[in-house]
Structure 1
Amino acid sequence: MDWQAIRDEEFPVAGRWAYLDHAAIAPIPRRAGDAMRAWIAEQEANGCIHWMTWRNELEVVRRRAAALIHAEPAEVAFITSTTMGIGLVAEGFPWNDGDNLVTAAEEYPSNLFPWMNLSSRGVETRLVRSRDGRLWLEDLLEAMDGRTRLLAISHVEFASGFRNDLDRLTELCHERGVALFVDAIQGLGPLTIDVRKTPIDFLAADGHKWLLGPEGAGLLFVRKDWIDRLRPILVGSNSATSSYNDPEPAFTLRSDAGRWEGGCYNMAGLLGFGKSLELILDVGADRVSARILDRAEGVRERARSAGWRVVGSDRPGDRSGIVVLDRDGSDNDAVARRLRESGVAVSCRRKKLRVSPHLYNNDDDLDRLAEGLRAPS
């Protein structure tokens, strides 16, 4: 694979930045920007005259999103954020008073607050803390009992970069009759998910991180046998089989996940997202994953040589595209600002440096990071 050609053709951001912050907000590839600019030009010139052309293109995007995770297109709905996807599942799940769910204490707030918000409905959220830089299966299992209905987990934890074992979690949950929800926003891209081989029940991911899409365009996966069991939330004209133009529209819900697409689409965002998915699928999801993990390993090696400690589990199977760094006495917020001033983009999360490279980052980018890390804190 000619990674340099992809860098040159698709990522203008590389002309200025050693951009290593894809776990925050990724720059979009040129083909995604072209698609969004074309839609804007069309709207300026013609308004809604050719709207159906763009609407039909969304089904191409849906097929790409489904192909990425090996789902059926009917199991994929478009969402404007991971938070929206989590909320649709949290509020639509068939809870009973006294039920509980289990999740990680260190989760991003969007994978905590929607579940905690269920307390008024008599649903308890049980938080499990990590140990030694990772979550342990036995701790998650210990938190479950006969009233546990769901485990909500991130594929990759945003602050630590720890990768949860979805295969094992799926097996353990289904043995206990517990549904599995996966926040995949930090996993899809550096890692691959096949929902046929790993039969998780629900998955949500916005596209603006590792999938290289714009903000406000993402995917919700609802396994086929859950579509009729999950209460539809935010229903609208797109949720039903009848047309808004019918004299008396019938409230008959769609049989697929599109029933959760109630209102207007973020057309520009979804068209851009579709092109970002196209790039990933053109390269091959497995190749993209291997490349990102290779780049992350390069970050770890250079950081250690620069005197930094790689935080978190050191087991190869626990690693992801996120590399978390720390150094005794370091003001990591200041380090992140100083690196950005030098043209190296990283983040500071929960007082530690977070580095997240992607497929187009070359050795020069990683060397620029290493040079910045060697500077006194």
Structure 2
Amino acid sequence: MGSDCDSSFPSAWLDVIQTDPWDWWRSQMPITEKFAYFDHAAVGPLSQGAFDAMSNFLDQASRLGDTVWPTWAARNEKLRRDAAKLLNCAPREICLVPNTSTGINIVAEGWPWQAGDSVVIPDGEFPSNLFPWMNQQSRGVDVRIVPRHEGEVRIGDLMEAADQSTRMIAVSWVGYASGFRLDIADLVARAHQRGIMVFLDAIQGLGMFPLDLERVPVDFLAADGHKWLLGPEGAGIAMIRGEHLSKIRVGNVGWGSVKNSYNYNEPKLELRDEAARFEAGSANMVGLGGLSASLEMFLAVRQCHGDQAIGDRVVSLATRLDGLLRDLGVQTSLAADPENRSGIVNFSVAGAEPAAIRSRGLEQDVVLSCRGSGVRASIHAYNNEDDLQRLVAVVRSFC
């Protein structure tokens, strides 16, 4: 993407985004009127764009019914194209899903496993990227769990656990508790060199950090839109690389899976040639419309300031918070290498229970989570110095 704003975005956005994208983004987040919100790794607040799109859908659905259904369907296709633009892949490789778990299960359940095959997973994965693979043990698949090192996933350890039986390495881009960001390019290169595919649970990284699937050919990917992408729950995307489409069995087949979806009188089970073959039935129109509107913000900032801008901003804020907390004598777990950092900072205060810190934060309109053995602050691009200082004030009260 270039550095000049594209006229396809709303004209009211462009001048402001070019001048100060982060203040502009903050103006699109109603949550900032009250809260210093640091819980994006759990459930992100809706952007104003998502709220408006969903409100508009409800208004149309109540007053106009399905007379505007083609407009809703077109919005879904725009989301598909925008998701493909975000990932630099083909729209035909994008599947619209209700959640990350669905995207993972499409592959875990659909892959033609043979008894004795194996899949490698890091320890400490969120259950969404564990249970679908464990469920294949009944088909004779060996699930190999590789230990982390103080939250860090070491690619060498993953590769050492793999052998000739390994068909898949399934990893999270960013650890949900530690915030450790994996070098996906290195993993994919080393896995593919040995004929092993890579599944990426991207929910904690998508939108925050660039991923060029033409340059880094991840085989499969899934992410819900309700965290960092600032959309509603129940709306997400999956990516199935085109060369693998025919390898994945479509286990959930419906009218939306086939080529002539609207030929109800003479239905034929001829699967679509796109990842949309996994979209069996009616879509979550209201949710996907909200996600589509929210995703436009990410693309606009990237178009104006480059693909790295959002990630650089988030890592800068996380590093700043890490320093402020360390100045208080607080123990943090931010990765030593900035390339492995994300928007997540996990910390603990000696003698203070994580739940007590979270509760006091809520009393002061500072929103945090308890994850792992500490408190998790998950920082977005629209957060600012004032937000950080409000969080630090909460922590200082325990020091």
* TM-score w.r.t. length of structure 2: 0.92
- Within a 5 Å distance, the mapping from 1:66-81 to structure 2 comes to 66-81=84-99
Shift of 1:243: 2.9
**C-alpha separation in 1, matches of 2:208 and 2:266:** 48
2:191 paired residue number: 173
**C-alpha separation in 2, matches of 1:138 and 1:289:** 25
- Within a 5 Å distance, the mapping from 1:41-190 to structure 2 comes to 41-190=59-208
The structure 1 residue matched to 2:267, chosen from 236, 246, 249, is 249
Shift of 1:320: 1.0
- Classify the secondary structure of the residue corresponding to 1:192: coil
Structure 1: gaps of 5 or more residues: none
Rate the CA distance shift 1:7–1:282 in 2: closer, same or farther, 3 A: closer
The amino acid of 2:271's aligned partner reads: L
Length, aligned pairs only: 377
More off after superposition, 326-335 vs 361-370: 326-335
Rate the CA distance shift 1:8–1:361 in 2: closer, same or farther, 3 A: closer
Deviations 1:254-293 (A, max 9, x none): 0000000001101011001001110000011422222111
1:303 paired residue number: 325
1:325 paired residue number: 347
The amino acid of 2:40's aligned partner reads: H
**C-alpha separation in 1, matches of 2:25 and 2:73:** 30
Structure 2: gaps of 5 or more residues: 1-18
- Classify the secondary structure of the residue corresponding to 1:227: helix
Q: Decide whether the 8 Å contact of 1:26 with 1:208 is kept in 2.
A: yes
- Within a 5 Å distance, the mapping from 1:294-373 to structure 2 comes to 294-373=316-395
- Within a 5 Å distance, the mapping from 1:158-237 to structure 2 comes to 158-237=176-255
Rate the CA distance shift 1:110–1:8 in 2: closer, same or farther, 3 A: closer
**C-alpha separation in 2, matches of 1:118 and 1:134:** 26
Q: Decide whether the 8 Å contact of 2:178 with 2:346 is kept in 1.
A: yes
4+ aligned runs moved over 4 Å, structure 1:
none
Rate the CA distance shift 1:4–1:286 in 2: closer, same or farther, 3 A: closer
Between the two proteins, what is the percent identity of the paired residues? 42
The amino acid of 1:232's aligned partner reads: V
Q: Decide whether the 8 Å contact of 2:93 with 2:275 is kept in 1.
A: yes
The amino acid of 2:316's aligned partner reads: D
Shift of 1:92: 0.6
More off after superposition, 82-91 vs 1-10: 1-10
Deviations 1:79-133 (A, max 9, x none): 0000000011100112111101000110001100000000110111100011143
Deviations 1:204-243 (A, max 9, x none): 0001111111111111001110011111121110100123
Shift of 1:341: 1.2
**C-alpha separation in 2, matches of 1:312 and 1:146:** 35
1:34 paired residue number: 52
Rate the CA distance shift 1:322–1:297 in 2: closer, same or farther, 3 A: same
**C-alpha separation in 2, matches of 1:299 and 1:148:** 40
Q: Decide whether the 8 Å contact of 1:133 with 1:312 is kept in 2.
A: no
Shift of 1:333: 1.3
Shift of 1:244: 4.0
**C-alpha separation in 2, matches of 1:65 and 1:131:** 33
Matched, 1:290 2:312: yes
The amino acid of 2:48's aligned partner reads: R
Q: Decide whether the 8 Å contact of 1:162 with 1:312 is kept in 2.
A: yes
Shift of 1:191: 1.5
**C-alpha separation in 2, matches of 1:352 and 1:132:** 13
**C-alpha separation in 1, matches of 2:222 and 2:156:** 25
- Classify the secondary structure of the residue corresponding to 1:50: helix
Deviations 1:36-55 (A, max 9, x none): 00000001101111111111
Rate the CA distance shift 1:346–1:240 in 2: closer, same or farther, 3 A: same
Q: Decide whether the 8 Å contact of 2:188 with 2:217 is kept in 1.
A: yes
Q: Decide whether the 8 Å contact of 1:311 with 1:326 is kept in 2.
A: no
Q: Decide whether the 8 Å contact of 1:152 with 1:180 is kept in 2.
A: yes
More off after superposition, 249-258 vs 127-136: 127-136
1:13 paired residue number: 31
The amino acid of 1:298's aligned partner reads: R
RMSD between superposed Cα atoms in Å:
1.3
* TM-score w.r.t. length of structure 1: 0.97
